[in-house]
Structure 1
Amino acid sequence: MEDDPVHMKQTASGQTLEGFADRVYLLASVIFQNNYLQKPAAQRLVNYGEERGLALPEVTDAEMQRAAYELAFNALKYQGLLENLLLDSSFYLTQPLPDDQMSLVVVMLFDFLDRKFLPRKCKNTDVKEVRLVELHLLRFTAKLAASLARWRIKYEILTIECMLPETVRIKQERASSLMLYAWVNSLKSSLDEVHSVLKRAGFSRVRSIGQLQAKTFCQDPHCEDTLVFPAEAKAQLNLTSLHSNHKLIVQDKACCLGPNAVRPLLQEAENGDVLMAGCFSGLTVSHTASLIAMKQKNDGNDKSNIFVCVGDQTEPRREKLQQVVNATGCKNVKLIPESFQSLDKGDQEFRKVRVILLAPKSSLTAISNPIEFILQEDGDTELLQDLAQGSIAKSKLEALVVQQKKDIDHAMQFPTILSVIYTTYSSQPEENEDVVRAVFEQARACGESSPSQTSLCPFTSPLDSEDLIFMLEPTEHNNGCFMAIFTREAPQKVQDPVTDDPAEVAKTTGKPPCKRSQARLKRRETKSSSGGSGSGTYLKKSAVRH
């Protein structure tokens, strides 16, 4: 199989020679129909009909759903090649199939190529239109294979992967070697218990990711509650009670960094509530709740509430989020049936909110396995075409940036907020540093022109401190992400007064200065003596590589 130049390494679920059930092809065809690259009329080789935005057929089996999305995504990657084969072989011009079935033809043709033109062995063949398309393709086996051979000779390539944009090829290679990340759910277990269960299951702990193989694991260097496993350990891990009892939750590392940032910021703010808004799954909400519970259990403090804006999500996604939150043992999560932009910053319900975690829609350009990521995180499929082609359309990028700026700006308007965490899964500077710089400059200008808007003025720019910017570069081990933290002085009547002199604080208030005042003074003294920004609090700005 490896010697065959036609074979493509990325198949949907290991069923390379068997093919898929009819429902997989149907779902894949609708996904392709909704996302294919629509070319100008003069350059159009194949017509797919006029319909877009079709409702997806219901497929409840998670593996079949994943297979369909992977199949559609591969068809999107090779859309140009597949269309050329259909035209050069005369299939498109001679077979009596309507245009609205051509999406089904394309996804099935890709799978046909992936199986080296071998007949399908899958027995779940109960859909008439799928069987009909399959018969037409089988009749053209010789002509399609000849067209593929001519195409490879014409472009002098050994494998069809060579025709993909470099960015897509790199991601495709990385996706096959990504590690498995899982965080310990402190609401149901502990790190010690998880280690014990893993040891009884035959797992052994190693010191670094470079040593991972077979049934081994190590501690993640950035997230203290997260363990790393080799990808091949997933099946064995799923057999343990840790998985079935929701004690160890598998989730991408890029999603774990935001929740891990909340914990120290909430501790510095001397507790309070957290508000979450943007695109994330119930796993991210539960992870945040787990980390906060761990902190407060150690400190003996009262519980913090987590408010989650779900106004922009569909009802099925809200229900799924709530199910995950319940299954993982969260008791202090409240879903807010409003969009983040519609929230009243003066609402008394949010008077104790100290930290806002923002994860607005982003381009996912730092994600090497976008299908796996989108399905796990209940993400948006609107960018599938762009991700398949290796570059995001300028208009889409600009629309994302506009919304990202709006969300940060709105978060900074809440009067009791001490920190705003902004995260993306993008490698585009336009969505990362450029957004941070633009928002802060706008906030500063607004504060100078309207001194009454005290909610904007006190914020510090993350770009001014190495402690407040974090970039995780995508590698063969992990996906990438970007995180920036906006911080400001504690608002009056919410925290203790802040001065440069702790003794003055004690004299004025009759009690010791708050931890935030002490920490800030220490940083100022360090900066004064060294000319730098002080020591890091929990993350350093870096291009992280294992």
Structure 2
Amino acid sequence: MVMLFDFQQRKFRLRQCPAEGEQEAVPEVRDLEKSLQRWKTKLAASLACFRIKHNLRSASCVLSDSIRVKEHRAKSLPLYAWVNTLHTSLDEVCELLHGANMSEVKQVVDLTDSTFSKDPLCPDTLIFSQNLCVPLQSSSLTSTHVLNIQDRSVCVAVSVLQPLLFEKGDVLVAGSFSALTLAHIAVAAAARSGQVLVCGADHTSLQNEEMKALLSKMDIKNVKVLPEAFCSLNESNATVERLKVIIVLPQCSSSALNDPVATMYSEHGDWNVLPDLSHGSVSKSKIFSLTTQQSRLLAHSLTFPKVQTVVYCTRSVFPEENEQLVRRVLEQAHTHPKLLPFRENGPIFPDDATSGDKTDSKFFRLQPSEFTNGCFIARLSRQVRDR
């Protein structure tokens, strides 16, 4: 269905043969395109009949209003790219961009094809116009991973994590995430001489290989892959002796993403929610399935006695996956009598950071818009005893 839609957008024209050095098309894809082209007249007629029957002005009108708004936003969504501060700095990258005849603007609304901006929420992230996607992806800055294009919802989560890291303390990443996200967290931890732990049993062998390959390419050496699954890991394991912070990035409904497909693909999201998202909502049964796993991960994060902070992040707009889940897990958590309990902490960002919704000061929400995808972040810290 994805190929059919793409083919229809190209008016059933076959793709051009790749130029020298470009990647060859997958043979199965090429065969399917040729089959679709042979039936293009009947396919076009069928689509026309459907539009007439339902009085639709265009094929996109099949979608709900909310989905069409998101689709419109996604086409012009700015690009966000974080700087690998292991080998350079944000200022040095800005100087390189100035040398390439690009100028800096203060507001994201002022972005053009020859400008860039700094992200007010993420101190290591730059913002570019969507029109610069191809030039950036083919530039030496991205090929050497000096700049790393990634969805803002992930960059914000790492930004929240940075000031919470302890000197020479370890951070564990739990849930579903990409090799690039792991690399971003590792770069942040390296600034505090910390190590990043990841549970290899929670990921496929291919995903583990991707992590290993990217970390090697970026010369990141402070990541340790544990053989255990996260929920079977406990305080008796010597590898968590220095563990101070856990960041939980579970699979979620992706309902705060304007175009969920790209981020779900890159961050190993749950593809089963796509049919629901295409109708503008997610079924109660699917939400229940997601929150069951989310609760399990978050609850287990609170069981490590030396952990001082847990960061929980979703790309969802649903309270069931966000504040309701966090509060329920905290209420049900069993804390050892000698340990301080966890509590909700906030605000996460400075008061002058206007890009988020802090109507509830205990949590942070980034609302989806034409400038960004959305996310929800909770920061849970050990409660301080009253003196």
Coarse TM-score class (shorter-chain normalised)? 0.7 to 0.9
Cα separation, 2, equivalents of 1:135 and 1:232: 30
What aligned pairs does 1:329-408 form with structure 2 within 5 A after superposition?
Answer: 329-408=219-298
Cα separation, 1, equivalents of 2:175 and 2:26: 40
Partner residue of 2:178? 281
1:130 and 2:13 are equivalent in the alignment: no
SS at match of 2:278: helix
The Cα shift of 1:131 comes to: 7.1
The number of residues matched between the two structures is: 368
What aligned pairs does 1:124-523 form with structure 2 within 5 A after superposition?
Answer: 130=32, 133-134=35-36, 136-138=38-40, 141=41, 143-267=42-166, 271-294=168-191, 296=192, 303-443=193-333, 446-447=334-335, 452-455=336-339, 458-462=341-345, 468-489=362-383, 500=387
The Cα shift of 1:241 comes to: 2.8
Cα separation, 1, equivalents of 2:91 and 2:27: 50
The 8 Å contact of residues 260 and 288 in structure 1, kept in 2 or not, is answered as: no
The 8 Å contact of residues 346 and 415 in structure 1, kept in 2 or not, is answered as: no
Name the structure with the higher strand share: 2
Cα separation, 2, equivalents of 1:136 and 1:246: 43
Cα separation, 2, equivalents of 1:396 and 1:485: 25
SS at match of 2:287: helix
The Cα shift of 1:382 comes to: 2.9
2:8 to 102, 110, 113: 113
The Cα shift of 1:259 comes to: 1.6
- Cα RMSD of the aligned pairs, angstroms, is 2.6
Compared with structure 1, are the counterparts of its residues 405 and 115 closer, same or farther at alpha carbon in structure 2 (3 Å cutoff)? same
Deviations 1:130-187 (A, max 9, x none): 377346514xx1x544443333233222112122122321221111011100111111
Please tell me the residue identity of whatever aligns with 1:427: V
Compared with structure 1, are the counterparts of its residues 271 and 460 closer, same or farther at alpha carbon in structure 2 (3 Å cutoff)? farther
Deviations 1:30-54 (A, max 9, x none): xxxxxxxxxxxxxxxxxxxxxxxxx
The 8 Å contact of residues 197 and 242 in structure 1, kept in 2 or not, is answered as: no
Cα separation, 2, equivalents of 1:209 and 1:410: 39
Partner residue of 1:24? none
The 8 Å contact of residues 346 and 414 in structure 1, kept in 2 or not, is answered as: no
Please tell me the residue identity of whatever aligns with 1:310: G
What aligned pairs does 1:516-531 form with structure 2 within 5 A after superposition?
Answer: none
Consecutive unaligned residues of structure 1, counting only runs of 5 or more, are: 1-70, 73-106, 297-302, 491-497, 501-546
The 8 Å contact of residues 105 and 115 in structure 2, kept in 1 or not, is answered as: yes
Name the structure with the higher helix share: 1
Consecutive unaligned residues of structure 2, counting only runs of 5 or more, are: 18-24, 349-359
Comparing both chains, which one has the higher relative contact order based on Cα–Cα distances under 8 Å and sequence gaps of 6 or more?
Answer: 2
Compared with structure 1, are the counterparts of its residues 418 and 148 closer, same or farther at alpha carbon in structure 2 (3 Å cutoff)? same
Cα separation, 2, equivalents of 1:126 and 1:349: 46
Cα separation, 1, equivalents of 2:316 and 2:36: 39
Compared with structure 1, are the counterparts of its residues 293 and 237 closer, same or farther at alpha carbon in structure 2 (3 Å cutoff)? same
User: TM-score, with normalisation over the residues of structure 1?
Assistant: 0.63
The Cα shift of 1:115 comes to: 3.6
What aligned pairs does 1:527-538 form with structure 2 within 5 A after superposition?
Answer: none
Cα separation, 1, equivalents of 2:210 and 2:242: 27
Deviations 1:159-216 (A, max 9, x none): 1212212232122111101110011111111112111111112211111101101121
Cα separation, 1, equivalents of 2:316 and 2:122: 20
The Cα shift of 1:454 comes to: 4.5
User: TM-score, with normalisation over the residues of structure 2?
Assistant: 0.87
Deviations 1:514-539 (A, max 9, x none): xxxxxxxxxxxxxxxxxxxxxxxxxx
The Cα shift of 1:437 comes to: 1.3
Identity of aligned residues (%): 38
SS at match of 1:474: coil
Please tell me the residue identity of whatever aligns with 2:203: Q
Cα separation, 2, equivalents of 1:239 and 1:150: 42
The 8 Å contact of residues 187 and 328 in structure 1, kept in 2 or not, is answered as: no
Please tell me the residue identity of whatever aligns with 1:292: A
